[in-house]
Amino acid sequence: MDTIVALSSGSLPSGVAIIRISGPKASKAVTALGAQITKPRQASLQTFYDPDGSVIDEGLVLWFPSPHSFTGEDVVELQTHGSRAVVAGILDVLSAYDGVRHAEAGEFARRAFTNGKIDLTEAEGLADLIDAETTAQRKVAQYLATGGLKELYKGWQDQLLNARAMIEADIDFADEDDVPGSVADQVWQDMAALQRSISHHLEGYDRSERIRDGFKISLVGKPNVGKSSLLNALAGSDRAIVSSEAGTTRDVVEVRMDIAGYLVLLSDTAGIREQAGAVEAEGIRRSIVSAEQADLVLYLSDDDNWDHDLIGKNSNVITIRSKADLGKLTPTDEEAIHVSVNDSASLLRILDMLSLRIKEELDRSRAGSAIKSRYIDHLHQCLKDIKLAIESEDALELRAEHLRAAAYSLGRITGQYDTEDVLGRIFSSFCIGK
């Protein structure tokens, strides 16, 4: 197998760069730089040279012999200054060494999977951790990356294996004194409990998507009620055009925010009114679609005229009385929140309210929140096979086969059984050097 090398740290220039080498020639390749391997897992300060004897840089060398490394292979990591010229010079020397080449995207992680250091859920968690923008995303990614789902699914596989063993014992040794009568009743009770656990787990997929992709909040209302001003105030920047002219916003303007540790996609929509030109009418249509697809609608009005038909079919709505500093009439809707973009206290009240609402929606089981779309079909197939095993009137041998198929579906999630194209899709999404 080739030895691979790549920059594993972030973009250059930077204070420090980490160059990773993995494979059978890792320890020998560094000698091309004039460096030497020392004690495992201990950093040593050394000087790196190019082939003509010129100094490239001075940095740290760390040696991780197989199998005690990220990839399970011999690994050397070099910590250098994060200069483009320094990193390029070192990579040129290493990749010129016989049997060493530049790594492909995700190749280090794929080798870790191939060598049994991580399973597919841990690999996907690692990718999510690298991309995490918020505290919630980081926590879910860490749960995946540290084997949380792997252990959960392995436990379910063990339950299915034990059930099959009990059934086979019932079949093969029914006449033996040391096999207590029929074990079928207990087996099917256990499988019914497992069925409930998996179903409950699947209920977390919606939360998982919203944590990963963002909790969608749509600002909706008639023209000139302060939607753009409120978006700019909450975002802390001028992202939307503010004007006294009705119909200024012609399209949906989206801002990414971190509220209570969750990624939030806050959308300012076109003011909804009956008389509008063709371009504005298209913006209004998009506003209605945005409201219907949002996880939460903030419906703004600056008077008592609350037209809830504007929000479409979405029932998750908070009404907000905007321009409260202008002293207009108090709205008849007592649930409305009064806000002025000129009053920081009222803006903080909205953020606090949004934090509570988002936590109520998303802050639940971390296991359920870690489900990825790739897992859904396999989990549903697992449930289907367990259901067939429980409800079937076939012979025990056939019912046991349904349980084997259920365990196989779980194994496809973790990578215990899977096809090359699935592995390729997962690891190709990684950056080079990971």
Q: Which of 383, 318, 325 is nearest to 355 (CA)?
A: 318
Q: Label residues 399-420 b or e (16+ Cβ within 10 Å = b).
A: bbbbbebbbbbbbbbbbeeeee
Secondary structure (3-state) at 55? strand
Beta bridge partners of 5: 21, 102
| Residues contributing to the annotated binding site for GTP | 224-229, 243-249, 268-271
**What is the DSSP secondary-structure string of 249-292?**
--S-EEEEEEETTEEEEEEE-PPP-SS--HHHHHHHHHHHHHHH
Please tell me what DSSP assigns to residue 311. Answer: G
| Residues contributing to the annotated binding site for Mg(2+) | 228, 249
Distance CA 28, CA 45 (A): 17
Answer for the pair 331, 301: CB distance below 8 angstroms, yes or no: yes
What tokens were used for 16?
């420090």
Distance CA 254, CA 68 (A): 46
Number of CB atoms found within 10 A of residue 383's CB: 18
| Sign of CA pseudo-dihedral 175, 177, 178, 180 | positive
Distance CA 20, CA 77 (A): 5
What tokens were used for 207?
């939360």
Secondary structure (3-state) at 156? helix
* DSSP H helices in 203-262: 205-213, 227-235
| Distant-in-sequence, close-in-space partners of 360: CB < 8 Å, separation ≥ 6 | none
| Residues contributing to the annotated binding site | 20, 77, 117, 224-229, 243-249, 268-271, 434
| Amino acid, single-letter form, for residue 380 | H
